[in-house]
């Protein structure tokens, strides 16, 4: 089998790189292919904003469905139900009686023929109303959707009911009654609810209930206590015709595996997959009919998928040969895997979107992810490793300004959000923008980051603001010892947890950095940890955070303003539903009151992820102006 060439026309005169270039929203995100494989849906950039859209791949005259994202909400997921309907999961943070903040989820059905929006189970008025657990495979517009009908745990409706829902008409029929403690349900490929995951926040215990294909009653098959660091074997897939399930496990040596087990006896049937040494299983790709495991998404800075399905493994190998040094990843495929969407990208380029039809054997170009960049390479990116001061090996992503010698450069240390996250060799518009101004940008995956195994993750416990912060500072020390960075021209910046690390970095080591930039950052840990949207697992989440540091106050930037010597820039969206803008407001007021150098850019319409182009532009321009003022880069060398 051969793969045809994947070529896109390179602009004769590429436009100059400006903040607008990097602020440009991606052509599409959360992209998904219809069951037949002739239409795509997702979040498209239209007029500088993300909209929910469905459009044909082959008929330019077919009317596009364009739906604005409801104000104040974030889109969690987009799924095709059949060739005419999608269902969309929304999330919003609402303030309820008493001032508590609650995360609320809802689902919308959208029909491509009429453009009609159908609110699904919105009348139930519970907190979680968008738990999609199954979609029909026969072309009908039916899904299984679980939802609460009460926010009060002493009422029966607090425990989600599974409904069979027609996404076109909104008609809902109860399929499985709510059961005390069970907050999550799972179905097999035929649409029968077979699994329930129960949780008790007071006892911090999980319980797995299960029923066979032919049974109606559930039985408990596994229990675990988070206080005892126990974990459930929760199947990612039920093997058709059996009582077997595929489960993720971490072996004693830290290796991650997928096993097939008997759910009734807990007997180990076989090892399905073993992750390579040093890799972690991030996610599984399951066939649309939920009958088979297709692939394993691995952690690591290159984010590869190991395809278990032979047809996809062979195809990926052929793809890899066709693109050379570039990376080609399958973004989605249709129901029978005969058609797929692929993205060809590099860390220094946001990528190009293609369509592939196995019957044709050729990649067909759709669009660049960013049409102001196209296929051209920006600042070079690579993964490096350095030793933290206690000897722990840390991996980081290093972006160097294009066309400049990697010597004595001004630098921006840019830790990721989370803190349970990982920076990878994927295009990063913020890092690329900063680098385009003449800065080296280093993104350390400090201890406690995901993607490096349980031991590395657990190394962050008790080290929030301590050794975790040392790892960030040690990234700068490594750059200096390598001769790459000028130690007198270093700034620290980040978003979300990275914003916290930026503020805490200049409080903990006041003489290390010339300036700090916090985007949507957390200034008061105690305030952030006490607000989890009143999740049913709020107690567990608080336990997880308390494991990270023995004393929130001792590592909160808001309480250490007196130690800060350097200028601080705060940027925060007023519609942020993940970290409240009040965090930055408090930090600004405290800094101002103490006579410290501080600037605050409140962005009225911005959410946590700056999903509007205008808001991204405001953010990037503010970052560029602040860096130029407080940590200026050398002017570019004149062109010859």
pLDDT in tens, 172-189: 999 999 999 999 999 999
Orientation angle between helical segments 429-436 and 613-630, nearest 10 degrees: 40
Grade residue 536 by pLDDT with cuts at 50, 70 and 90.
low
Structure tokens at 579: 């970290």
Round the average pLDDT of the chain to a whole number and report it.
90
pTM of the predicted model, to two decimals? 0.88
How would residue 452 be classed by pLDDT, with cut points 50, 70 and 90?
A: confident
Q: How many CB atoms lie within 10 A of CB 154?
A: 6
Give me the sign of the Cα torsion angle 405, 407, 412, 414: positive
> What phi and psi values does residue 186 have, to the nearest 5 degrees?
-135, 150
* 155 vs 8 pLDDT, higher one: 155
| Cα–Cα distance measured from residue 64 to residue 439, given in angstroms and rounded to the nearest whole number | 42
Please determine, for residue 307, whether its predicted confidence score (pLDDT) is greater than 60.
Answer: yes
- Give 637's pLDDT tier (boundaries 50, 70, 90): low
Half-sphere exposure of 428 (CA within 13 A, CB side): 27
Residue 12 pLDDT greater than 60, yes or no: no
Question: Confidence band (pLDDT; 50, 70, 90) for 6?
Answer: very low
pLDDT tens string 478-515: 999 999 999 999 999 999 999 999 999 999 999 999 99
Tokens 């957390």 — which residue? 522
90 in Cβ contact with 75 (< 8 Å): yes
pLDDT of residue 7: 47
Residues 375/14, Cβ–Cβ less than 8 Å: no
Neighbours of 503 (CB within 10 A): 30
Record the tokens describing residue 452, joined without a space: 């490096």
For the segment 244-254, the average pLDDT, to the nearest whole number, is 86
Q: CA-based Rg of the chain, rounded to a whole angstrom?
A: 25
Of all residues in the chain, what percent carry a pLDDT higher than 70? 93
Band of the pLDDT at 14, cuts 50, 70, 90?
A: low
11 has pLDDT over 60: no
Q: For residue 365, is pLDDT > 60? A: yes
Total residue length of the chain: 640
Q: Following DSSP, what letter does each residue of 538-558 receive, concatenated? A: HHHHHHHHHHH-S-TGGG-GG
180-218: pLDDT as tens digits: 999 999 999 999 999 999 988 778 889 999 999 999 999
Output the pLDDT for position 251: 80
Span 235-249, average pLDDT = 95
Domains and CATH numbers, the chain: 381-630 (3.40.50.1820)
């Amino acid at each position: 089998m051969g793969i045809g060439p994947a070529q896109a026309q390179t602009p004769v005169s590429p436009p100059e790189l400006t903040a607008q270039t990097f602020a440009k929203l991606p052509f599409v995100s959360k992209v998904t292919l219809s069951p037949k494989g002739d239409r795509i849906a997702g979040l498209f950039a239209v007029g500088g904003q993300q909209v929910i859209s469905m459009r044909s791949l082959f008929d330019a005259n077919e009317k596009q469905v364009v739906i604005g994202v409801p104000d104040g909400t974030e889109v969690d997921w987009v799924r095709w139900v059949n060739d005419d309907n999608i269902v969309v999961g929304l999330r919003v943070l609402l303030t309820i009686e008493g001032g508590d903040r609650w995360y609320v989820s809802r689902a919308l059905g959208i029909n491509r023929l009429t453009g009609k929006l159908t609110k699904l189970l919105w009348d139930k008025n519970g907190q979680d109303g968008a738990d999609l657990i199954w979609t029909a495979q026969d072309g009908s517009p039916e899904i299984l959707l679980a939802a609460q009908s009460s926010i009060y745990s002493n009422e029966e409706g607090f425990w989600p009911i599974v409904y069979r829902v027609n996404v076109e008409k909104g008609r809902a029929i109860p399929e499985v009654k709510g059961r005390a403690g069970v907050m999550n349900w799972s179905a097999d490929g035929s649409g029968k609810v077979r699994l329930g995951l129960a949780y008790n926040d007071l006892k911090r215990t999980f319980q797995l209930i299960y029923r066979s294909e032919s049974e109606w009653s559930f039985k408990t098959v596994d229990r675990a206590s988070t206080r005892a660091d126990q974990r459930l074997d929760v199947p990612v897939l039920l093997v058709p015709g059996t009582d077997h399930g595929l489960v993720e496990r971490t072996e004693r040596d830290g290796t991650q595996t997928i096993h097939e087990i008997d759910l009734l006896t807990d007997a180990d049937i076989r090892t399905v997959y073993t992750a390579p040494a040093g890799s972690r299983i991030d996610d599984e790709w399951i066939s649309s009919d939920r009958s088979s495991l297709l692939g394993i998404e691995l952690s690591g800075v290159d984010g590869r998928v190991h395809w278990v399905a032979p047809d996809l493994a062979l195809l990926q190998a052929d793809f890899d040969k066709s693109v050379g040094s570039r990376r080609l990843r399958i973004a989605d495929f249709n129901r029978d895997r005969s058609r797929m969407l692929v993205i060809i990208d590099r860390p220094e380029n946001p990528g190009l979107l293609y369509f592939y039809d196995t019957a044709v054997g050729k990649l067909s170009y759709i669009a660049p992810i960013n049409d102001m960049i196209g296929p051209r390479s920006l600042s070079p990116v690579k993964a490096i490793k350095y030793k933290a001061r206690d000897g722990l090996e840390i991996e980081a992503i290093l972006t160097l300004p294009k066309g400049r010698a990697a010597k004595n450069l001004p630098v921006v240390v840019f830790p990721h959000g989370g803190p349970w996250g990982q920076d990878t060799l994927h295009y990063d518009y913020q890092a690329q923008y900063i680098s385009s101004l003449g800065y080296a940008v280093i993104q350390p995956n400090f201890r406690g980051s995901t993607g490096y195994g349980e031991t590395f993750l657990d190394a962050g416990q008790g080290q929030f603001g301590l050794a975790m912060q040392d790892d960030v500072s040690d990234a700068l020390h490594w750059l200096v010892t390598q001769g790459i960075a000028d130690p007198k021209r270093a700034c620290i910046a980040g978003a979300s947890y990275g914003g916290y690390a930026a503020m805490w970095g200049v409080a903990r080591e006041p003489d290390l950095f010339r300036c700090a930039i916090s985007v949507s950052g957390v200034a008061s840990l105690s305030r952030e940890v006490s607000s989890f949207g009143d999740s049913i697992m709020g107690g567990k989440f608080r336990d997880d955070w308390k494991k990270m540091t023995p004393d929130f106050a001792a590592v909160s930037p808001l309480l250490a303003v007196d130690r800060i010597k350097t200028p601080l820039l705060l940027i925060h969206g007023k519609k942020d539903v993940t970290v409240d803008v009040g965090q930055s407001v408090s930090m600004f007021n405290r800094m101002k009151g103490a006579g410290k150098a501080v600037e605050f850019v409140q962005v009225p319409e911005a959410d946590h992820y700056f999903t509007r182009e205008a808001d991204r532009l405001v953010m990037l321009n503010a970052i560029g102006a602040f860096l130029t003022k407080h940590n200026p880069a050398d002017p570019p060398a004149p062109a010859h």
